Amino acid sequence: MTAPPVCPECGGSFFTDHPAGLAVQHEPTCSLLAHEDGRKVADRQLAIPLGAGPAWRRPATATECVLVAAAVGTTVPSMATTTLWELSGSIIRRVVTWTDGPNDRRWPDVDSW
């Protein structure tokens, strides 16, 4: 059995079934928390209004790559992308996608929700 993923900096637990997808319970002193919070604010400002369109994409941040790598146990390349869906006025779901050799990978797996 595999241990549940944790933040590589603070040891905070991942919420593996959170509707936002990539969600971590960081310690208040974790530097990755500040990066995550800043990106969430920027994503909210760029959000397509709920119901106005499909998902949108942007390059994955270095922090997202680090956190997803911790979750899946492999390196996530810097050319990964993040797909975002506005689920509600307060939740934007993030899924990171990258190519690993001949395979396309994503986390969390969108087929699981």
Residue 29 lies inside a defined structural domain of this protein: yes
Q: CB–CB of 41/71 below 8 Å?
A: no
What whole-number distance in Å separates Cα of residue 105 and Cα of residue 100? 7
* Mean pLDDT of the chain, nearest integer: 84
Does 113 reside within a domain?
no
So what's the pLDDT on residue 111? 46
Mean pLDDT across the stretch 83-92? 82
Q: What percent of the chain has pLDDT over 70?
A: 87
Domain count across the chain: 1
Q: What integer is the mean pLDDT of 39-64?
A: 80
Report the distance separating Cα 70 and Cα 77, nearest Å. Answer: 13
Bridge partners (DSSP) of residue 99 are 104
Q: Identify which has the larger pLDDT, 59 or 2.
A: 59
pLDDT for residue 113: 35
Q: Is residue 99 part of a domain?
A: yes
- Rounded CA-CA distance 51/15 in Å is 26
Q: Is residue 76 part of a domain?
A: yes
Residue 112: inside a domain: no
Domain extent for 83 = 1-107
What is the rounded distance in angstroms from the CA atom of residue 94 to the CA atom of residue 2?
A: 23
CB environment 27-55: b (16+ within 10 A), e (fewer): eeebebbebbeebeeebeeeeeeeeeeee
pLDDT score of 85 more than 50: yes
Q: What is the pLDDT of residue 13?
A: 92
The band of 112, judged by pLDDT with boundaries at 50, 70 and 90, is very low
Q: Which residue has the higher pLDDT, 48 or 12?
A: 12
Length of the chain equals 113
